[in-house]
Amino acid sequence: MSAWIPWGGFAATVAGVAFLWHGAHAPAPTEKSAPTSVELAEAAGLRPTELVVDFRDDISEQALAANGYLEIPVGDMSAQDRLYRIDFDDADQAASALAKLSHDPDVESVDYDSLATIPPDEQAEEATATAGSMEAECGAKTGEAGTDFPAAEAEFPNDACFKYQWHLRQVGMPEAWKRGTGAGVVVAVIDTGVTQVGDLAGTKFVPGYNFIANNTNAADDHGHGTHVAGTIAESTNNRIGVAGVAYGATIMPIKVLSAKGSGSMAGIAQGIRWAADHGAGVINMSLGGPFAVGAIASAVKYAHGKGVVIVAAAGNDGHGRVGYPARYPGVIAVAATQFDESTTFYSNWGPQIDIAAPGGNVRVDQNGDGKPDGVLQHTIVPGDIGRTDYLWFMGTSMASPHVAGVAALVMGAGVRRPEAVEEILLGTARKPKGRTAAAGARIDDHYGAGIVDAGAALRKARDGRGAGELGLGLAASLLGLALLRRRGMAVAPLGFGFVAALLAGSSGLFFLPALTPESWTHAHALAGALSGGITDLSAGSLSATLLYSALAPVGLIVLLYGVRRLRPALAGFGFGVAGALLFTAIGHTVDLRFVPDALEPFWLAGQAALAGFFAAACLRKT
């Protein structure tokens, strides 16, 4: 019976880690129904003579030419993703073609074309928000932006107008910045484009695309997209302006909306695919419409399958119907709150709402700071794009990038699988003031799981993951020691080298923030960034697949086993990596290329066993 004790302890540790990570009552993502025939019929009233047809990507040119229709490319990417528009002389012809193409095996989806827009009321509020410049007040506090502060100054962040960003405090900043900044994560802003205004000068950018003009110039000619990008990753702690949620993340500008704030759903579908194909880890869509378009649903599924977290605004109609694309499965639908944490008068609601975040309300000043309670960011001025200013906007468009930014923080902490990121966001969302709900239950159709909490999300993603990995590494070590001793084998002394290597191997130096006092703000933030370690690699790459294997510990053991004094450290590193691999299998936190989803846990568990076997070999006293 005693022979099973080590295995029983190991199994109990595995079960405990699984319970603590996933939780007994973690809120589940909402089930989102497919569009109904009634909704599709409603869409026909918008452009009854235009169809958007998403053909199979592998359809041949011959089959495309033989169907009897004249396909018009949606953009330069149409030849790659086989997304086309077909125009008809009248609605009857279009309806007949819709019925025929919907049964064509070469067609993935066919719909009437429709427009996605920035909500009209949101644009009206943006126009009024330009009265009274904030450029002077939000300029550098003293001296030039970017110069060093005196050593005695401990304020973080030091941005001149951070004091007006109540919305960042509502989501748990700046506590979360002590644990991570989103470094290494690319966030695609699918919107009116993004212009790198003054307070985005320190923010990283990668090339994007303009699906309105079909070129690579994705600059903003409206103001909406730049404001959204600022909430996600505004340059922070640069002594000017304001701050952003994941200021270490990289922005990918994707322009799908015109200067008037509208764009074709077909173009948006291409933008989603383009972002997924060019390295985006998170997509934010602060746009939408009331109608379903199959090409968007297909694009969302495609991007989600490539490991992209997709976040979208619920809509600003103030009624119980969530808009598209937020309503699609695989998209995190975001409702809007104001300063007092109540949901706003304009925010859409319904069972498809996943989470809430600050969207603001420029019509009130609930915090009494003399400024409207909107979301404040630096952007170009709508209607006068030659100027820039710090403007308060409101809308679910402003709520969505808060969640996208927190998703980037979580991904930067090493959690790369979209389902795992969503589980963390929903599981750590907090209850708003005056509201209660059973543990793990949705609050209601206005809040979903609650208000996104960046600090809690990062604590779980980084510290919780690190503790789980370390616990499993220790359990693997004890199991290895017990099995060696049961076989009558002498065990070499362990010592500090074993413990240090176990810590490093198990958790990517996750423990550094715990050793750095939170009062040392900058050092603590640096330690948090380092704690991501090698887990910041993209899970979609071959290098990441090799990383989540026994290659590193086995390779080191093979190379250095002959150095006797290093064997305890090699054993500790091997057991630590085994714990990290086991945790990844339990938490299902990453997608691995070249490994089918169903086999990923078995791959990771097998690699953990291999790492543990080689580690145990190093403990034998020979």
Bridge partners of 337, per DSSP, are 343, 358
* Residue 224 falls in the annotated catalytic set: yes
- Nearest to residue 618, comparing CAs of 572, 583, 550? 572
* Residue 221 falls in the annotated catalytic set: no
Alpha-carbon dihedral sign for residues 539, 544, 546, 548: negative
Give the Å distances, CA to CA, from 94 to 78, 100, 116, 307, 501.
Answer: 21, 10, 21, 36, 67
- Nearest to residue 143, comparing CAs of 158, 154, 129? 158
Would strands 262-264 and 115-117 be described as parallel, antiparallel, or unpaired?
A: antiparallel
Active-site residue (options: 286, 397, 538, 549): 397
Active-site residue (options: 224, 304, 378, 588): 224
Helix-strand-coil split of the chain, %, nearest 5: 40, 15, 45
What lies within 8 Å, CB to CB, of 531 at 6+ separation is 179, 180, 413, 462, 466, 507, 508, 509, 510, 511, 512, 513
- Distance of alpha carbon 511 from alpha carbon 150, whole angstroms: 29
Active-site residue (options: 111, 159, 191, 463): 191
* Residue 87 falls in the annotated catalytic set: no
Beta-sheet strands, E only, within 62-199:
72-73, 83-87, 107-112, 115-117, 186-191
Burial class (CB in 10 A: 0-12, 13-18, 19+), 440: middle
DSSP string for residues in 536-590: GS-TTSHHHHHHTSSHHHHHHHHHHTT-GGGHHHHHHHHHHHHHHHHHHHHHT--
Instruction: Kindly list the catalytic residues.
Output: 191, 224, 397
